[in-house]
């Protein structure tokens, strides 16, 4: 909560306060709370350059520094951003070591827009990317899935894994919208060709459209990839209440998407799954969406219901399949 980008900035400390209040109301005895540790410089270096990391550290010497028009630091941002990345590693390590079945990293600032040498979109360090790289480099995993349902495309995460087959990056996002990336033809390059999956959708799409993209595009590819660990970039700005986005996802939609991802994790990797907070700027929607994910994580695997029908999403699914069919079986 110490990271303060500005009094009227949408990525404000109250976001974390709302989630702390929400988790305090959860009464499941098996739910464990872990404080985050700061990510080390070596861990930040998994995804970011030394000079860029030094620039974020230097920002702690001034009260305010503007990395771009949207991304502002305060004197506490350096320490808080290290805790955000380290909090993701705390959750991933607990699941990888069997100390927890799954985890939700309640962290800010968010991360999925952060590029190797650039802060942008409220993000300083790419928390989910650091987590994925840590699994590959420190724990010897060879197939990590990152599913990003934030309303904005995770351009930083995509960039970091665009040329590798070890990380399958999949994104549902509003398009056209910030940051302007994530079109169908962005599928990866070199040995990473086919391992980036984008489903850009127009505003006003909601639960039915998202779930059909999951069932008809994302999950068939993910099952062929057979991930050893699943990470969710869980942004709640695709909720219908969010002031920045134009999508129509509900709490029930987040439950259904989470159920599909936990079923995939149970099928492929012994249930190893961690969700990482990204965006979400209406406090009620943020708390409700995060609660839906955490409560679904606490249930035994349940049967996934039938795929909702929505004619509006058919062109999106068909267009994505066109670009991805050379790499995956998409009947």
Domains, the chain, with CATH or none: 14-324 (3.40.800.20)
Task: Assign 32 to helix, strand or coil.
Answer: coil
Cis (ω within 30 of 0) for the bond into 179?
yes
Q: Give yes or no for residue 202 having a pLDDT over 80.
A: yes
Residues 225-239 have pLDDT tens digits of: 999 999 999 999 999
- How far apart CA 198 and CA 173 sit, in angstroms, is 8
SS3 3: coil
Burial tier of 59 (Cβ tally within 10 Å: 0-12, 13-18, 19+): buried
Of all helices (H) and strands (E), which one includes residue 103? strand 102-105
Does residue 221 have a pLDDT over 80?
A: yes
Other beta carbons within 10 Å of 143 = 18
Residue 208 dihedral angles phi and psi, to the nearest 5°: -60, -45
The 3-state DSSP class for residue 285 equals helix
Judged against a pLDDT cut of 90, whether residue 300 lies above it is answered with no
Question: pLDDT at position 49, please?
Answer: 98
Structure tokens at 325: 């069919």
> In 3-state terms, what secondary structure has residue 30?
coil
Q: Could you list the active site residues?
A: 113
What is the longest distance spanned by two Cα atoms in the chain? 56
Q: How confident is the model at residue 29 (pLDDT cuts 50, 70, 90)?
A: confident
Cα 18 to chain centroid, rounded: 19
Going by pLDDT thresholds of 50, 70 and 90, the confidence category of residue 217 is very high
Assigned token pair, 239: 């909720």
pLDDT > 90 fraction of the chain, expressed in percent and rounded:
95
Instruction: Give me the sign of the Cα torsion angle 111, 117, 121, 124.
Output: positive
115-125 pLDDT, tens digit per residue, is 999 999 999 99
Of all residues in the chain, what percent carry a pLDDT higher than 70?
100
> How much is the pLDDT for 95?
98
- Secondary structure of residue 206 in the 3-state scheme: strand
How far apart are alpha carbons 120 and 32 in whole angstroms?
Answer: 32
Q: Are 128 and 273 in contact (CB under 8 A)?
A: no
31's CB contacts (< 8 A; 6+ apart) are 23, 294, 298
Indicate if the pLDDT at residue 327 is higher than 80.
Answer: yes
Cα–Cα distance between 77 and 60 in angstroms, integer? 7
Going from the C-alpha of 315 to that of each of 126, 169, 209, 311, the distances in angstroms are: 31, 21, 11, 8
Position 303 scores a pLDDT of: 78
CB 224 within 8 A of CB 268: no
Pair type for strands 229-234 and 273-277? parallel
Closest by CA position to 221, among listed 165, 299, 154: 165
What confidence tens digit (pLDDT) does each residue in 132-163 have?
999 999 999 999 999 999 999 999 999 999 99
250-272 exposure pattern, b = at least 16 Cβ within 10 A, e = fewer? bbebbbbbbbbbbbbbeebbebb
Tokens describing residue 277: 């907070």
């Amino acid at each position: 909560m110490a990271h303060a980008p500005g009094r009227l900035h949408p990525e404000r400390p109250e976001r974390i306060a709302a989630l702390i209040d929400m988790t305090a109301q959860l009464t499941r005895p098996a739910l464990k709370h872990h404080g985050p540790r700061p990510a080390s410089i070596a861990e930040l270096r998994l995804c970011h350059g030394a000079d860029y990391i030094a620039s974020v550290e230097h920002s702690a010497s001034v009260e305010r520094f503007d990395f771009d028009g949207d991304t502002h630091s305060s004197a506490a941002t350096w320490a808080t951003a290290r805790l955000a990345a380290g909090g993701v590693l705390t959750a991933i390590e607990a699941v990888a070591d069997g100390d927890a079945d799954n985890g939700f990293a309640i962290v800010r600032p968010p991360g999925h827009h952060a590029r190797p040498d650039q802060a942008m979109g409220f993000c300083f360090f790419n928390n989910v990317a650091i987590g994925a790289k840590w699994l590959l480099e420190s724990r010897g995993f060879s197939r990590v899935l990152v599913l990003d349902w934030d309303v904005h495309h995770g351009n930083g995460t995509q960039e970091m894994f665009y040329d590798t087959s070890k990380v399958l990056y999949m994104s549902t996002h509003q398009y056209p919208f910030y940051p302007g990336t994530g079109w169908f033809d962005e599928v990866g390059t070199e040995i990473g060709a086919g391992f980036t999956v984008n489903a850009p959708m127009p505003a006003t799409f909601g639960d039915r459209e998202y779930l059909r993209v999951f069932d008809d595009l994302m999950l068939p590819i993910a099952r062929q990839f057979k991930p050893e660990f699943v990470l969710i970039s869980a942004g709640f700005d695709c909720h219908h209440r969010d002031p920045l986005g134009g999508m129509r996802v509900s709490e029930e939609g987040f439950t259904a998407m989470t159920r599909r991802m936990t079923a995939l994790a149970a099928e492929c990797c012994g249930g190893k799954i961690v969700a990482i907070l990204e965006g979400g700027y209406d406090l009620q929607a943020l708390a409700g969406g995060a609660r839906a994910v955490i409560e679904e994580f606490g249930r035994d695997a349940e049967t996934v219901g039938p795929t909702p029908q929505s004619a509006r999403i058919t062109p999106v699914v068909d267009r994505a399949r066109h670009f991805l069919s050379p790499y995956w079986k998409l009947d």
